[in-house]
Amino acid sequence: MSIASVDRPAGSSVKALDATFMAANVTGIALYLVLASRGWRMPQEHGMVPVTGEPFVWVLALPVLGVFLLADIVWGGLLLRGRELKRGLWWLVTAAAWLLAIGIDFSRH
């Protein structure tokens, strides 16, 4: 029996840094959707108004997307550098959530 196996803390797939990034991304997704929703076309106006609010999305929502994209690239780089592929699943879940949010945004224009 080895003492090293007893002293080693139990591994967790979610570290504090990962939880922080995931919580920040949930906030970012909500903020992105709120800002992007200002440019969504109302279903009652379909076909009547030829221009939707894309300029609002470009000015308000896309900077939020850009900041979180940059932060997620850094997070992914940290995970790759540490070769912790199990923790990378949380990064993939976060990326899938962003893709879902972008899909919701594009479906409303």
Per residue in 14-36, pLDDT (tens digit) is: 678 788 889 999 999 999 988 88
- Amino acid 3: pLDDT: 54
Alpha-carbon distances, residue 19 vs 25, 26, 46, 79, 98 (angstroms) = 10, 11, 41, 13, 16
Q: How far apart are CA 54 and CA 19, in angstroms?
A: 33
- Amino acid 54: pLDDT: 65
Q: How far apart are CA 75 and CA 7, in angstroms?
A: 29
> How large is the average pLDDT for residues 93-106?
90
Q: How far apart are CA 29 and CA 99, in angstroms?
A: 10
- Amino acid 24: pLDDT: 93
Examine the pLDDT at 100 and tell me if it is beyond 80: yes
> How large is the average pLDDT for residues 76-93?
83
Residue pLDDT, tens place only, 34-73: 888 877 766 666 666 556 556 766 777 888 899 999 999 9
